[in-house]
């Protein structure tokens, strides 16, 4: 059974993602809630937010989303490698 503190934290996270999604739609980024959640998680784990920004030269919103996903994968691999190397020490 989840505590009220956990429930409040989860509700706060949902509201944050909802707000980010609203901004994303206003700015016509083409990013959905799942991608935004991944971005937030990556930034919270130490990823550079500038590297998560879509390439401005992308011609379509779907291209921008794909660019973000590719960059997220690169960042995730880099973080995983960094964590693995620091765990070996």
CA–CA distance, 59 with 19 (Å, rounded to integer): 25
User: Do 69 and 34 touch, CB atoms closer than 8 A?
Assistant: no
21-75 pLDDT, tens digit per residue, is 998 888 888 888 988 888 888 888 888 887 777 655 544 556 666 777 777 788 8
56-68 pLDDT, tens digit per residue, is 554 455 666 677 7
Buried/exposed code over 5-43 (b: 16+ C-beta within 10 A; e: otherwise): eeeeeeeeeeeebeebbeebeeeebbbeeebbbbbbebe
Show the domain range for 62. 1-87
User: Do 55 and 69 touch, CB atoms closer than 8 A?
Assistant: no
Q: How many domains does the chain have?
A: 1
């Amino acid at each position: 059974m989840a505590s009220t503190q956990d429930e409040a934290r989860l509700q706060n996270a949902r509201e944050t993602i909802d707000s980010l999604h609203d901004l994303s739609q206003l700015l016509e980024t083409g990013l959905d809630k799942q991608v935004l959640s991944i971005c937030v998680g990556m930034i919270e784990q130490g990823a550079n937010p500038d590297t998560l920004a879509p390439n401005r030269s992308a011609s379509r919103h779907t291209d921008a989303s794909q660019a973000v996903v590719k960059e997220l994968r690169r960042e995730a691999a880099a973080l995983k490698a960094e964590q693995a190397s620091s765990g070996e020490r």
